[in-house]
A = this chain, B = another copy of it.
Amino acid sequence: MSSTATASNTTAPTQFLQVKGHSFAYRRFGHGSGLPLLFLQHFTGTLDNWDPAVTDPFASAREVILFDNAGVGRSSGEVPATVAAMARHPMAFLEGLGIETCDVVGYSLGGMVALQMVQDRPSVFRRMILVGTAPRGGEDIMHLEKPNLAKRIQDPTNRGYDVLKKIFFTSSAASQGAGEAFIRRLSQREDDLEPPAGPNVAGAQIAAFREWEEFKGQRFAELRAIRHPTLVVNGVHDEMIPVSNSYRLSENLANAVLLTYPDAGHGSVFQYPESFTRQATAFLSADSASAAF
């Protein structure tokens, strides 16, 4: 199947691609002359966790492809316990779609998967957007047991998407207001929904974070070989994957622009979707060898 008639994650039907013994759930919408833009999702997130305000504006100039990795949502199989193994599935998925090169938005865990993919096969991406993520050997990656995070995650009054408002946004009135708007946007999709991730997904993904914190040899050395124009984005008050990880990315990647947002946490791009999509669209539209845009 090719792109669908609707160009929003609120309405795009979920599709399934059979490849290498897997059935991968995905959504694909939009059209234009740009390369397809692959979205790789965060911890326990499914297709339904992509904010239409973040995905849809890209769809006017390119195909947007949202992807559930193995074992997530309605994608078959088990969630791998390493980022290296997770990276093989979107690679097979892109091969199955016949896409040799695309652009990518890798968010949180998805950014780590994107970094692993581009190391494994540099030609898979032209330009990369890495949001709220960390390089291998990064620090304080998704330690949900930290008291400040644990109390918000375990608060029984936070149900469903409400917990995202508490952990993706800061405590300011402006950020919490943006969080409410974010949840309203996610809730607009009412049919053809993904099952929420269960403890098996969370457990394997947490194991992958722990393994990703380890490094051998010179820390961050592998980043210097990645010359792809890259836009690194983070909220300055991210408690889940601290902004210092984005600093290390932009300092060590050969060709990266860093953009940080004020009064924002892990969900910075959901807090400022208009700014993010405007900046990212300008970045993707550039054809310079430099990431500067």
Contact = CB atoms under 8 A, between A and B. Distances in A.
A172 to B, nearest CB: 10
A259 to B, nearest CB: 6
A251 B244 CA distance: 11
A247 B275 CA distance: 20
A250 B258 CA distance: 12
A259 B247 CA distance: 11
A247 B290 CA distance: 22
A250 B260 contact: yes
Interface string A143-173: 0000000000000000000000000000000
B292 A272 contact: yes
Interface size class of A (residues with CB under 8 A): 20 to 34
A243 B253 CA distance: 15
A260 B174 CA distance: 25
Tell me which of A237, A260, A272, A291 has the highest count of chain B C-beta atoms within 10 A of its own C-beta: A260
A258 B260 CA distance: 5
6 contacts: A236-B258, A243-B251, A254-B262, A257-B262, A272-B292, A275-B292
Interface of A: 174, 236-237, 243, 247, 250-251, 253-263, 272, 275, 278, 290-293
